[in-house]
Structure 1
Amino acid sequence: MNPVTAIVLFLSLLCVVRSSAVTSPPSPYEVLKSYNLPVGLLPKGAVGYDLDADTGEFAVRFNSTCSFSLQGSYQIRYQPTVTGRISDGRLRDLKGVSVKILFVWVNIVEVDRNGDQLEFSVGIASADFPVENFDECPQCGCGMDCGDASKEEEEETRRVKLRSQI
């Protein structure tokens, strides 16, 4: 092999190794999809997560508490850290997600996918909703009815990323 071919081969191999090392891990939203769950189970703005692929134990982190209303009647609140266990079509042992029922906040402890339905359990009671209702991620503060707030959220996300790079 001549020296020029060897150098080209070496540089090509180096580029392949370097590009594979740069690939980033999947986002928490991509992880949900890989477990047959819709991305809209999490609001926009997750800043990190941990996942033990063997046990399914996970933790998703946000910059702060996130709350919003859905369909005008449900108020939802996410703590800065949401934990639980994930498996195909199921979230269980959830901590850090609650819904306001009448005047009381109750914890959502489990989400199960049954075909085109998601069943949300608060322990002694549950409710079903179509999976398609969760195709998009809600936004903190405004849920799905954000108007120009989505631009503000994107700008805040950009500022957070810039601060973390400094």
Structure 2
Amino acid sequence: MEYGFPLGLLPKGAIGYSLNKDNDEFTVYFQGVCSFDIEAYMLKLYNLKGVTVKILLLWLNIVKVYRQGNDFYFSVGITSTDFDIENFLESPQCGCSFDCKPLPLNSDVSVSSI
């Protein structure tokens, strides 16, 4: 992926992204809400405006993401946490993260996008 970010930073379900180099604003485009779990955190991407993370009972906006060496830092303003780049080698999928079950072939299951 461009800009030094790994492919797994974007979940499956994203339909595009852009980076404004003038203000470092990173925008990801979806057809609705995308939520998934990573480790002990539940993330929700919505309204083409931001990423929120649920910590305990509160939803907080992630205000900054940056890479330093092999670590990615996610800041919510008052605190931040880091994850090794190895956590982003595979993309989570909207709605089911890494635990998605493949649909059986020739079944009567209908699928709609989020």
- TM-score, length basis structure 1: 0.57
Structure 1 residue 81: deviation in Å? 0.9
Structure 1 residue 131: deviation in Å? 0.6
Partner SS for 1:40: helix
Count of aligned pairs between the two proteins: 107
Letter of the 2:46 counterpart: Q
Give matches, 1:43-62, under 5 Å: 43-52=11-20, 56-62=24-30
**Higher RCO, 1 vs 2 (CA within 8 Å, ≥6 residues apart):** 2
Give matches, 1:141-160, under 5 Å: 141-148=95-102
For 1:114, the equivalent position in structure 2 comes to 68
- Map Cα deviations across residues 13-54 of structure 1 (whole Å, 9 max, x no partner): xxxxxxxxxxxxxxxxxxxx2211112221112223444455
Partner SS for 2:48: strand
Structure 1 residue 55: deviation in Å? 5.1
Q: Is the 8 A contact 1:68 1:141 kept in 2?
A: yes
Letter of the 2:83 counterpart: F
For 1:63, the equivalent position in structure 2 comes to 31
- Map Cα deviations across residues 104-161 of structure 1 (whole Å, 9 max, x no partner): 0001111111111111111010111111101111101111111326x9xxx757xxxx
CA distance in 2, matches of 1:121, 1:52: 19
For 2:43, the equivalent position in structure 1 comes to 76
CA distance in 2, matches of 1:42, 1:134: 9
CA distance in 1, matches of 2:95, 2:69: 30
Letter of the 2:56 counterpart: L
Give matches, 1:129-144, under 5 Å: 129-144=83-98
Change in 2 beyond 3 A, CA 1:63/1:102: same
Structure 2 residues without counterparts, runs of 5 or longer:
106-110
Letter of the 1:134 counterpart: F
Q: Which of the pair is proportionally richer in helix?
A: 1
Letter of the 2:79 counterpart: A
- TM-score, length basis structure 2: 0.79
Q: Which of the pair is proportionally richer in strand?
A: 2
Larger radius of gyration: 1
